[in-house]
């Protein structure tokens, strides 16, 4: 059984990059400004590096805003290890080729937040069959992005309406989303937007979060 979806604030969702102090600082600033989710993503980090980063982010985020959920990208084992250390880590976001969501749910327990990457109507319909195991889906790319090549065609604003209609799960738009895109995407019915570079490279991440929240 999944965590209650009503407890998730997906409107402004930070996906981190990097493994240095800047990553921790941006995560804390975003949480302090009201970002509901921080996903720790470091594709090139070792498991040990990702664990240390996750724990550091979790500590900083909890201090800034205890309501913000901290998720680990791809690695349920790292999320489990961080939780075992007592870190305020709430779950995991999985790709289509990662550990099956049922196994991640069994590992992390009923209170964990589990998200799943999609981006096509077929994938969203398949995700809907997992309702009760997962809590939300990410859908993208919104536009082509240098941070991740999914191999899928960009959805654009017009691509989200059919996906939203195909599932009862909340959808988060991702893929080079900027604050300027938030209002148009909100009009499609998505639950929120995930920002990577728009937050990680912002001089004032908190201001970006507040701008997005106003539009959603």
Mean pLDDT value of segment 112-132: 97
Q: What is the mean pLDDT of residues 52-69?
A: 98
The per-residue b/e assignment along 90-124, b for 16 or more CB within 10 angstroms, e otherwise, is bbbbbeeebbebeebbeebeeebbbbbbbbbeebb
Domain boundaries, the chain: 5-215
What are the Cα distances from residue 52, in Å, to 82, 85, 105, 106, 196? 8, 11, 22, 23, 20
Can you give the pLDDT at residue 212?
98
Residues in the chain: 216
5-215 fold: TIM Barrel (3.20.20)
Which residues define the annotated binding site? 39-43, 73-74, 98, 117, 145-148
Q: Which residues are annotated as a binding site for Mg(2+)?
A: 74, 98
Answer yes or no: is pLDDT of 6 > 80. no
Residue pointed to by tokens 């989200």:
160
Burial of 168 (0-12, 13-18, 19+ CB in 10 A): exposed
pLDDT in tens, 180-204: 999 999 999 999 999 999 999 999 9
pTM of the model: 0.95
145-173 pLDDT tens trace: 766 666 788 999 999 999 999 999 999 99
Q: What six digits make up the tokens of 185? A: 């995407």
């Amino acid at each position: 059984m999944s965590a209650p979806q009503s407890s998730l604030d997906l409107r402004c969702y930070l996906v981190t990059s990097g493994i240095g102090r800047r990553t921790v600082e941006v995560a804390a600033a975003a949480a302090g400004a009201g970002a509901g989710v921080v996903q720790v993503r470091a594709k090139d980090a070792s498991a040990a590096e990702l664990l240390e980063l996750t724990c550091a982010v979790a500590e900083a985020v909890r201090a800034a805003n205890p309501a913000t959920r901290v998720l680990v990208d791809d690695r349920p084992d790292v999320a489990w290890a961080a939780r075992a250390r007592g870190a305020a880590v709430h779950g995991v976001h999985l790709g289509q080729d990662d550990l099956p969501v049922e196994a991640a749910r069994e590992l992390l327990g009923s209170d964990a937040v589990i998200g799943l990457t999609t981006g096509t109507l077929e994938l969203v319909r398949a995700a809907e069959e997992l309702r009760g195991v997962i809590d939300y889906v990410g859908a993208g790319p919104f536009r082509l992005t240098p941070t991740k090549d999914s191999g899928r065609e960009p959805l654009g604003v017009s691509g989200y309406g059919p996906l939203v209609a195909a599932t009862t799960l909340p959808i988060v738009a991702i893929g080079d989303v900027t604050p300027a895109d938030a209002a148009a995407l909100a009009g499609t019915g998505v639950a929120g937007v995930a920002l990577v570079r728009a937050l990680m490279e912002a001089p004032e991440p908190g201001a970006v979060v507040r701008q997005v929240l106003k539009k959603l």
